[in-house]
Structure formats: C-alpha cells, structure tokens
Amino acid sequence: MEPITLDQLLASVGKEVGVSPWRAVTQTMIDQFADATDDHQFIHCDPERAARETPFGGTIAHGFLLLSLLSAMTFETLPPLDKGKMGVNHGFDEIRFMAPVKTGSLIRARFVLADVKARPSGWVQVTHDVTVEIEGSKKPALTARWLTLTFVEPEA
C-alpha cells in the first residue's frame, strides 16, 4: 500500500477511509488470547458448558480480543502516513461492546476518519471512528473512537 501525505489525510476527514477484509474468529485464537490474558471464563473457553449455560449457543470472543485485532485490521486496510517513522496507540475516547461474536464468526472493521491534528513536535494524532461488523448481523460487535499517534520526522 502506498503511503499518503498529510495533506491527503487531512482531506479525508469525515470520510470512510477503509473497510478491512473479513477475518475468522476461531476457538484457537480465543484460547490463545485467554492464555495471554489469564481470562479463561467458560463463556470463552468451554464450548460444551457455554452451549449449555449461555444464550450464545457456544463460546464467544473476548471483547478485548476484538479490540486488539484493530491494529492488524488497520495495517491491512489503511495506508501509512508518508515519512511516518512509527505509530503508537494513544487511547480511546469511547468503546462500546454491542454484540457478542460467536466462535467461527467473520468480522471486519470499517474506519471513518474523524480528526487529524499535526503537532509541531512531529507527532500526528489521528482519530478514527471504528465499527467492527459481524457477518450476517445487523448489530456490530463494537464501536470505538480510536486515537493513534504517528511520528513524522520534522523537516529541518
């Protein structure tokens, strides 16, 4: 993907700037996330019990797993900023988990560029309104206002 200039980025404020490819949420992915975070609640890790004791009919993904997948979905969807040296998460102004993602579901992220602030220090703050969609569902898995920072070496 070709980098975009700061001017191109600024011209895109208020527009949908990308939709990621669909990706499967597998039980293996959920189990690995549970191991990494020590969150082994049965609704995520015990398919038989989750089928018996929850309204979901089986296991569901951790909300924080879905949130963590935003980085990967960004890299496969949005062009990098020209002359950007590195990017970091800056935080979220709002996150809402709207619907459970059942194991085996396909999800994708839709990105709307909400704001861009170029700082004299070389940091560019980018705000996206993100919706993670579930294939076949009218309700999204989550919505978030996500802030990232990209460092662009200031010109001498």
Phi, psi of 106 (to 5 degrees): -105, 135
**pLDDT at position 49, please?**
98
Q: What is the pLDDT of residue 156?
A: 64
pLDDT in tens, 18-73: 999 999 999 999 999 999 999 999 999 999 999 999 999 999 999 999 999 999 99
Tell which wins on pLDDT, 95 or 155.
95
Contacts 24+ apart (CB under 8 A), 121-127: 121/154, 122/151, 122/152, 122/153, 122/154, 123/149, 123/150, 123/151, 123/152, 124/6, 124/9, 124/81, 124/84, 124/149, 124/150, 124/151, 124/152, 125/90, 125/149, 126/9, 126/81, 126/150, 127/93
DSSP state at residue 41: -
Backbone angles phi, psi at 35, to 5 degrees: -65, -40
Mean pLDDT of 104-125: 96
Average pLDDT, the chain: 96
pLDDT over 90 (residue 153): no
pLDDT tens for each residue of 69-91: 999 999 999 999 999 999 999 99
Read off the tokens for 111: 């990105």
Q: For residue 154, what pLDDT band results from cuts at 50, 70 and 90?
A: confident
